[in-house]
Chains A and B, each alone.
Chain A
Amino acid sequence: MATAEGKHIYYVPHGSKWPAVGTIGLFTTMIGAANWLNEVSWGKPAFYVGVAILLFMMWGWFGDVIRESIKGMYNSQVDVSFRMGMMWFIFSEIMFFAAFFGALFYARMYSVPWLGGEGDGALTNFYLHQGYAPAWPTNGPEAVGGAFQTIPAWGVPLLNTLILLTSGVTITIAHHALRAGHRKQLLVFLGLTVALGALFLYYQAEEYIEAYQHLNLTLGSGVYGSTFFMLTGFHGLHVTLGTIMLLIIWFRCLKGHFSKDHHFGFEAVAWYWHFVDVVWLGLFMFVYVL
C-alpha cells in the first residue's frame, strides 16, 4: 500500500526512448518474420535486424533500470510493482504453455481416440479411416510424415530432468548465499546453474538431432511430432532465455550489483528459472513418460 514515508515518493520515470526503440524493434522483427515466411528476400535480414534492435533496447532499458536502482531511486513500493509485474508475466507464460498442453491433452483424450473409432468417433472411423487404430504416439490415419520412433523417456530426458532439478537446487543455494553475503559461494552456485542450463540445452540439441536424423521424428510427424516439438521447442526457447538471463545476473553479481536485501533482479530470474523447471516436469510426465 502506498505510504508516503517522508521523501520516499513513488518513482515515476521521465520520458524514455527505450519503449519507442522496442516498438521499432518488434515491428521490424514481425514484418521481417512474416516476409521471411512468405519467401520475400529481405524478410530474413529484416528479422535479424529487428531482433538486434530488441536486444539493444533491452540492454539500454535494463541498463537504465539498473542505474536507477543503484542510485536508490526505488523505494519498497516500486519494488513491489516490479515483483507483481514479474509474477503476472510468469502467469501469462503459464497460460501460453497451457494452450500447447491443452492441444496435447485434446489430441490424446479426444481427437485420436475418435479418429480410431472410440466413443463418438465410431462413424468417423467407419466411413473415413477404417483400419486406423487409436494409439499414442501416432501420426494419424494418414501417417503424416511417415513412420517414426520416439525418444525413450528414461534416457536423455530423464538425465535432463535431473539436470534441471539440480539447477533448481543450485540457484536456491546461490540465493541463500546472496542473502547471507557469501559472495564466492554465490558466484560458484550461480555459475553452476548457468552451466546446468547450458548442459540441458546441449542434450536437448542432441536429442533433436537424433530425432531428425535417426528416428524420422519431425515437426511434420503428425500430431505426435507437432505436440512434441512445439512443447519441447518452446520450453527449450525458454531455457535458452533463462540461461542468458542467469548469465547476465552472474555478471551483475560479479560487479556487485546486488545487496543482501535488495536484489530483485536476481529473484526475478530465479522465479523464471523455477517456472521453466516446473514446466519441464509437466513435459517430462506428459510428453515423454505417459
Chain B
Amino acid sequence: MKSLATTRIRRAVSAAVLATTAGMVHASSMPARWQLNMGEGVTETARNAYRMHMIALWVCVVIGVIVFGAMAYAMFKFRKSKGAVAAQWSHNTKAEVIWTVIPILILVVMAWPATQMLVKQADTSNPVLTVKVTGYQWKWRYEYVDYEGKPTGVNFVSKLDAESDKTRQLKSGLDPHAVKVGDEATYLLNVDKPLVLPTNAKIRFVVTADDVIHAWWVPALGWKTDAIPDIINDAWTLIEQPGTYRGQCAELCGQDHGFMPIVVEAKPKAEFDRWLAAQQAAATPATAPAAPAPAAAPQG
C-alpha cells in the first residue's frame, strides 16, 4: 500500500510532466495540481520564454551546486572540532579574476538568445487580425478592430463566469472544487464570453484600459502586457494549436483584481470565420463602436 506522501509526489511529478508536454490536440493551459515548472505554451513566444527560463534555471542550478558544494565541503572539512587550523591568507588575485570573468561570459551567453527573441517579439507588423483589448474594473472588452483588412464591428465584454462569482463571495460556503467545465476545475479561470481567435494567424493586440492599470496575460501565449489608461501597448501572437487557454489580470487593479480572468478559445480559421460571421450578423443592428478606419492603422 502506497503512503499518501508517495502518491502525492507521484502526482506532482506526473503533473509536472503533463504540464511540460501539454496538449496535443485540444490543448489546455489549466495549471495542474502540484505543478512545478512553467508550461511550454502554444506559441513560439511561449516556447522562447520557456527556453530562456530553462537555460537560466540550469545555469543557476549548476552555479549553485558548485558554490554550495564548496561551502558544504568547507564546513565539513575546516571545522575547529576536527582540529582545523585557520590559514591566514586573504588574497588570491588569480582566483578573483577568474570568478569575475567567468560569470560575465555566462551572462553574455544568456543575454544573446534573449536579445534575439525580444527583437523578434517587438515586431507587431502585418497582422491578419487586430484585437483591441480594454481593461475595466473588473472585466475586459474585446473589439475585433479589423480582420483581413476589413473592420468587423464585433465587440463584447468578457467577465468572470456566474458560478465562480457566486462561489467566490466571502464565506459563501460553496466549494471552489465544484466549479467545473467538463472535468476541468475552472474556478476563477472561466468567463461568460471567451475571446475567440483563429489559429495559425498573426494576431495583433492593442491593449489599453479605461480606469486603472490592468495587465492582459494568458500564460500559454507566453507574454503579458500592461493595459494602461489612455495609452496603447501592442503585442502579437500566433497560436499553433486549437484549444482553450486561460489567464488572469496580472496587475493589481483594485479589490476584484483576482476576479477578472481571461479565456482565449483558439479555433481553426474556417471555424473562426464562421464564428465571426455569426457575431457580425448578431451585431449589425446594434451600434458598432466608432472604430477608426483600420486601413490607416500604423503598422509599426
Which A positions have Cβ atoms within 8 angstroms of B? 114-115, 117, 120, 122-124, 126-130, 141
User: What residues of A have a CB within 8 angstroms of the CB of B297 in the complex?
Assistant: 123, 126
Please, which residues of chain A bring their CB within 8 A of the CB of B234? 123
Interface residues in B262-292 by Cβ distance below 8 A to A read 292
Interface string of B193-209 (1 = CB under 8 A from A): 00000000000001010
Whether B246 is near chain A, meaning CB under 8 Å from some CB there, is no
Q: With A124-B230, A124-B231 given, name 17 new contacts (CB 8 A).
A: A114-B231, A115-B230, A117-B298, A120-B300, A123-B206, A123-B234, A123-B298, A123-B300, A126-B232, A126-B296, A126-B297, A127-B208, A127-B292, A128-B208, A128-B230, A128-B231, A128-B232
With A and B bound together, what is the CA distance between A115 and B228 in angstroms?
13
B139 located at the interface, meaning its Cβ lies under 8 Å from any Cβ of chain A in the complex? no
Chain A residues in 8 Å Cβ range of B214: none
In the complex the two chains form, is B298's CB within 8 Å of A122's CB?
yes
B292 touches A123 (CB 8 A): no
A199 to B234, CA, bound (A): 52
Bound together, the chains give a CA A130 to CA B296 distance in angstroms of 12
Q: What secondary structure prevails in chain B residues at the interface with A?
A: loop
Query: Which residue of chain A lies nearest to B122 when distances are taken between CB atoms in the complex?
Result: A120
Give the A-binding residues of B (Cβ under 8 A): 132, 206, 208, 230-232, 234, 292, 296-298, 300
Contact A122 B132 (CB under 8 A): no
Contact B231 A126 (CB under 8 A): no
A124 x B232 contact (CB < 8 A):
yes
Chain B residues lying within 8 Å of A124, measured Cβ to Cβ, are 230-232
Chain B residues near A128: list those with CB within 8 A: 208, 230-232
Q: Judging by beta carbons under 8 Å apart, are B298 and A126 in contact?
A: yes
Q: How far is the CA of A262 from the CA of B296 in the complex (A)?
A: 73
The CA-CA distance from A126 to B124 in the complex, in Å, is 15
Residues of A within 8 A of B296 (CB): 126
Q: In the assembled complex, how far is the CB of residue A120 from the closest CB belonging to chain B, in whole angstroms?
A: 8
Question: CB-CB < 8 A to B231: which residues of A?
Answer: 114-115, 124, 128
3 smallest beta-carbon distances between A and B, as pairs: A122-B298, A124-B232, A123-B232
A30 to B296, CA, bound (A): 53
A127 touches B300 (CB 8 A): no
A117 contact set on B, CB distance < 8 A: 298
Residues of B within 8 A of A130 (CB): 292
Chain B residue nearest to A111 (CB atoms) is B231
- How many whole Å from B177's CB to the nearest CB in chain A? 41
Question: By the criterion CB–CB under 8 Å, are B132 and A127 in contact?
Answer: yes
Residue of A nearest to B294 (CB): A126
Q: How far is the CA of A126 from the CA of B299 in the complex (A)?
A: 11
CB distance from B109 to the nearest CB of A (A): 29
Provide the residues of chain B in CB contact with A123, threshold 8 Å: 206, 232, 234, 297-298, 300
Q: Taking the nearest CB of chain B, how far is it from the CB of A133, in angstroms?
A: 15
Chain B residues near A120: list those with CB within 8 A.
300
Contacts of A115 in B (CB 8 A): 230-231
Residues on B with C-beta less than 8 A from A129 are: 230
Q: Which residues of B contact A141 (CB under 8 A)?
A: 230
16 contacts between A and B (CB under 8 A): A114-B231, A115-B230, A117-B298, A120-B300, A122-B298, A122-B300, A123-B206, A123-B232, A124-B230, A124-B231, A126-B296, A127-B132, A128-B208, A128-B230, A130-B292, A141-B230
Nearest residue in A to B145 (C-beta to C-beta)? Answer: A127
Taken together as a complex, chains A and B put the C-alpha atoms of A129 and B208 apart, in Å, by 13
Contacting residues, chain B, for A126 (C-beta < 8 A): 232, 292, 296-298
CB distance from B66 to the nearest CB of A (A): 40
CB proximity of B276 to chain A, nearest CB, Å: 21
> Nearest chain-B residue to A124 (Cβ)?
B232
**Nearest A residue (CB) for B297:** A126
